[in-house]
Amino acid sequence: MGSLVSDFLTMSKSNNNSKEFNPLDPEEFREKAHKAVDFIADYYKNIENYPVLSQVQPGYLRNRIPETPPDAPESFDTILRDVQNDIIPGMTHWLSPNFFAFFPATVSSAAFVGDMLSNCFNAVGFNWLASPAATELEMVVMDWLATMLQLPKSFKFSGSGGGVLQSTTSEAVLCTLIAARDRALKEIGVQHVGKLVVYGSDQTHSTFMKVCKIAGIHPENIRSIPTILEDDFSLSPKLLRKVVEADVAKGLVPLYLCATVGTTSTTAIDPIKHLADVAADYRIWVHVDAAYGGSACICPEYRHFLDGVERVDSLSLSPHKWLLTYLDCCCLWTKNPNLIINSLSTNPEYLKNKINDSDSVVSYKDWQVGTGRKFKSLRLWLVLRSYGVTNLRNHIRTDIQMAVTFERLVRSDPRFEIVVPRRFALVCFRLKQFNGFDSAYTELLNKRLLDRVNSTGRVYMTHTIVGGVYLLRFAVGATLTRDHHVVAAWELIRETTDALVKECYA
């Protein structure tokens, strides 16, 4: 046997005419990682010099990159040079201090290092035994953040509930919707799945309808309840009750309500407590999507936006939006994890072990759609430990104060109006209707204003339409943004408006 092994090793060595392929040589990794960190640090340092919104045209990259991959290795320096010359021009720079579009995707040194450690271990933490620390740290961190939000004990592992890190709000909604669906079908029978009805407002995130379809809800049974400016575009409990009663009268089964704390268009706040009153009468599962606004609720002065949360079934928020954690990181808490586990659990023979079979540990694969999962809690853990609750609260307050500054600047110019009240760090504003011009022309002027501002590359904003009104969104919160960036953005908006108004009356 020894001779056979020796002959095999000799033959293998003689067949290897090239340098041994070693994709994880520690010293090579050290060298490349140092270069990469230097590259990233320089990018962050110089990011303000790039146009915020990419200026390239569709298909630009195909002409810069070879049609086929290389047969031989290329140097890391060459690759980084191509990132600089070919990739960066095609990037919209979400981390630019002049990025005021959508909602910010916040980052930090601590989260970056946390992600490096997560990548280092490359743990696929589908169950406890796969990496005990990955499971238990996630449980700890979810309870920590629940405490910061003053969530009731019924949402914590230290109580009767628990939390899990999903990738996005869409996944959080899907998992809870499936749990609600299966609970209802167990009572009414699977043959009545076509009777299930779900509810949201016309301001609920657009992915809600997609998720409902994936979960098997008939498109005709997805209710998008209208909101109005007079209610600041929040969901009316009175109107919800009216819609639910009409569905019940038709023999349909109310199933699920998605309430929002900080809608995408205007950061509208749905009244959780009063909506829960309606839901309780019909045993509707209530999920609170606090993807953006929820992070602010770690500050005592904003916690009231979660009033009534003790009466809902589940809650999610996305720390990657405002708690400095990089993409992707969505926290989901539920009062009754077993309902999700009953719907999503799998137990193949190759994953069975004594500890898991004893039901004494959490298997996070049963809390999500997929099986494999990254060690994301390291990222959030490093953020919470490196900065502490006090600094995180001050970070949010600083962003909101910069939004207040922008709001005051807008109000100082009589040509503009604030369309809806500012709650967090988003200001919704627009050019007013000028004398002699109709509403259609006013919308056109606002579109032109947005296009011209964005085309400069100095600032990036987005728009929305609510209640038939076209408005501009100025979202403060990029990690590198400071007061002078906000003031400079306003000056650009004002100067662009001056030129537009001149053209109007020319």
Are 406 and 400 spatial neighbours (Cβ–Cβ below 8 Å)? no
Beta strands per DSSP E along 204-337: 222-225, 253-260, 285-289, 314-317, 330-334
Residue 203: what pLDDT? Answer: 96
Helix (H) or strand (E) holding 145: helix 132-148
State the Cα–Cα distance between residues 239 and 242, nearest whole angstrom: 5
**pLDDT by 10-residue block (mean), the chain, 506 residues:** 61 60 94 97 96 94 93 95 96 97 95 95 89 95 98 95 96 97 96 97 95 95 96 97 98 98 97 98 98 97 97 97 93 97 90 83 93 93 98 98 98 96 97 81 94 96 96 97 98 96 79
Q: Calculate the CA 86 to chain-centre distance.
A: 27
| The predicted structure's pLDDT at residue 91 | 96
| DSSP class of 41 | H
Q: What is the pLDDT of residue 352?
A: 86
Number of Cβ within 10 Å of residue 119's Cβ equals 12
Give the pLDDT confidence score for residue 11 in this predicted structure.
59
> Residue 199 has which token pair?
């509810």
pTM for the structure as a whole = 0.93
Contacts 24+ apart (CB under 8 A), 127-131: 127/351, 127/353, 127/356, 127/361, 127/363, 127/364, 127/365, 128/355, 128/356, 128/361, 128/362, 128/363, 129/353, 129/355, 129/356, 131/375
| Cα gap 288→317, rounded to integer Å | 9
| Nearest Cα residue to 380 out of 319, 313, 441, 425 | 319
Q: For position 438, what pLDDT does the model report?
A: 81
| Of 268, 324, 302, 264, the residue nearest 148 (C-alpha) | 302
Half-sphere exposure of 103 (CA within 13 A, CB side): 23
- 433 DSSP assignment: P
What is the model's pLDDT at position 353?
85
Q: Which two tokens stand for residue 38?
A: 């230097």
| Token pair listed for 43 | 């990018």
Q: At what angle do helices 207-214 and 169-188 cross, to 10 degrees?
A: 40
